[in-house]
Amino acid sequence: MRIRVLLADDEKLILGALSALLAAEGDLEVVGEAAGGVKAAELAKKLVPDVCVLDLSMPDKGGISVIRDLQQARPSIRCVVVTSHTAPGYLASALSVGAWGFVPKTTSATELAVIIRKVHQGARYVDPEMAAKVISAGESPLTRRETDILALSSDGAPIDTVARRAVLSPGTVRNYLSRIAGKLKAANRHEAAHVARRQGWI
């Protein structure tokens, strides 16, 4: 039985090359390709592949958001995230939403084919170097909600904008950010975001 695979990457050259290389594997069938996360989610819901290989960062919808969508709509699909971002926080986020695999973009197509087979068989796979970075980064002192709010504010958006994103009042957001800065021993939310990003917590 062939393993049905859907690929999503906003870099079309990578998408095309990866599709051709994986299709050359006798037991893999590339049933769909998407150059963005929105299209990937739509195709996955329609085609219901065995495994989705998703780029972590896509302009319209990132791999983590796609996985979150599919966990609700098509929980049978197993997702592998490929990324050039090696901060431990990305790995933790991917695993927390249900990713089955997490690998760097330096992974060869042959290696990826092996990982796809493992995931299809029910085994999770995390790149060993990325796993080591998570261990060395230590545990974040922030709660999940604090982490979410810091991430929502990390682009420097005004408090009112962050409040709308978080569906909270501006005053509540200010309280959260003040508490976060205190926990991270940062002078302000911008410095707190820098600390958290450096540690891989967001």
Asked if the 144-199 domain carries CATH number 1.10.10.10, the reply is yes
Concatenated DSSP letters for 135-162? HHH---SS-HHHHHHHHHHTT---HHHH
Query: What is the spatial distance between Cα 45 and Cα 36, in angstroms, rounded to a whole number?
Result: 14
* Residue of 37, 146, 127, 51 whose CA lies nearest to 86: 127
- 3-state secondary structure at position 60: coil
| Ranges of each domain in the chain | 3-136, 144-199
Query: Across residues 30-40, what is the average pLDDT?
Result: 95
- 3-state secondary structure at position 167: coil
* Confidence band for 198, pLDDT divided at 50, 70 and 90: confident
* Confidence band for 94, pLDDT divided at 50, 70 and 90: confident
Task: Give the ranges where the chain is alpha helix by DSSP (H).
Answer: 12-23, 37-47, 63-73, 88-96, 109-120, 128-137, 144-153, 159-166, 170-183, 189-199
pLDDT score at 137:
66
Does this chain's domain 3-136 share its CATH topology with 144-199?
Answer: no
**161 has pLDDT over 80:** yes
**121 has pLDDT over 80:** yes
Percent of the chain having pLDDT more than 90?
69
**148 has pLDDT over 90:** no
**199 has pLDDT over 80:** no
Count CA atoms closer than 13 A to 85's CA, side-chain side.
21
Query: Across residues 55-62, what is the average pLDDT?
Result: 88
* Confidence band for 132, pLDDT divided at 50, 70 and 90: confident
Relative orientation angle of helices 144-153 and 189-199, to the nearest 10 degrees? 110
Q: Please give the CATH topology (third level) of the domain spanning 3-136.
A: Rossmann fold (3.40.50)
**59 has pLDDT over 90:** no
**178 has pLDDT over 90:** yes
Q: Are 36 and 25 in contact (CB under 8 A)?
A: no
Which residue carries 């609700």 as its tokens?
72
- List CB contacts of 47: < 8 A, sequence separation 6 or more: 4, 6, 31, 32
**Mean pLDDT, rounded, of the chain:** 91
* Confidence band for 127, pLDDT divided at 50, 70 and 90: very high
Surface-to-core class of residue 197, CB atoms within 10 Å of its CB (0-12 exposed, 13-18 middle, 19+ buried): middle
pLDDT score at 174:
96
